[in-house]
Structure formats: C-alpha cells, structure tokens
Amino acid sequence: MRQSDQGGLVYSTDSGRMCPACRQPAAACSCAQRAKAAPAGDGIARVSREKQGRGGKTVTVVRGLALDAEALAALGKRLRTACGAGGTARDGVLEVQGDHADRLVALLLAEGHKAKRAGA
C-alpha cells in the first residue's frame, strides 16, 4: 500500500489544517462550497409521514425541494411556525414533528412550490 493510499497530509506547520479531499489548506478549500452549491432535489416537494425509527413519534417529511441550505432552513422555519410544531432541516430534508402532511402540501403550494403527497 502506498503512502498516498493511506491518507494524506493532515496538518502542515506552514499552512495549518489541510483538507483531506483536495489537499489544500483548510482556509483555501472549496470542497464544502461545491457540496453546498448543488442542491439535491428535482423541484417537486414530496410530503410524507414517517414513524419508523423515531420511537413511535409521527414526523412529516418534505423531500425533493431544490433549495440551498439557507433557503431550506428559512422555508422550514415558516412551515413549522404555521403548523405550531418543532422540527429540523438537514441534508436537504425538512422534518416537522406531528402529522401535518395535508397542511404542509397546502402551504407549499401557496408559496409557489410544486408539492404532492407521497406514501399513505
């Protein structure tokens, strides 16, 4: 196994921390910017209700919105406020606590997004 296959330079006394992906100093790394720049989604919001893996709690999930992280967080804040519920926005997915699927579809359509129910 070659040295370059095991990993790379992690820290340099000249430039500090190094990005393992592009091998540039962390301050000059553009890997995170490129990952944030490409929103995942086809533009159609699919609203579904999930219960598995959440301790029996029902969560309404919105997937497929082609928004960057900041816009997704702002939309999530407006939706959670309208529903009077908590939740989160992470990895391109909005989660709203409780069963609010019909209300979220109506709110998304009112804001100009394409939205539809997914699942049962």
Distance of CA 90 to the CA centre of its chain: 3
Q: Which domain holds residue 93?
A: 44-117
Helix H or strand E encompassing 12: strand 11-12
Are 111 and 64 contained in the same domain?
A: yes
List strands edge to edge, sheet with 93-97: 87-90, 93-97, 59-63, 44-50, 114-117
Model confidence band, residue 2 (pLDDT cutoffs 50, 70, 90): very low
Mean of pLDDT values over 38-63: 85
Tell me if 116 sits within 8 A of 45, measured CB to CB. yes
Do residues 27 and 50 share a domain? no
CA dihedral 31, 69, 42, 103 (to 10 degrees): 160
| Whether residues 26 and 68 fall in one domain | no
| pLDDT exceeds 50 at position 4 | no
pTM exceeds cut of 0.75: no
66 and 113 share a domain?
Answer: yes
Same domain, 48 and 33: no
> How many structural domains are present in the chain?
2
Q: Residue 2: inside a domain, yes or no? A: no
Same domain, 26 and 51: no
Give mean pLDDT, residues 43-72. 90
Confidence band, pLDDT 50/70/90 cuts, at residue 25: confident
Mean pLDDT over residues 32-48, rounded?
72
Domain CATH number, residue 60: 3.30.780.10
Q: Which residues contact residue 37 at a Cβ distance below 8 angstroms, ignoring those fewer than 6 apart?
A: 68
- Same structural domain for residues 55 and 106? yes
Tens-place pLDDT, residues 71-108: 999 999 999 999 999 999 988 899 999 999 999 999 99
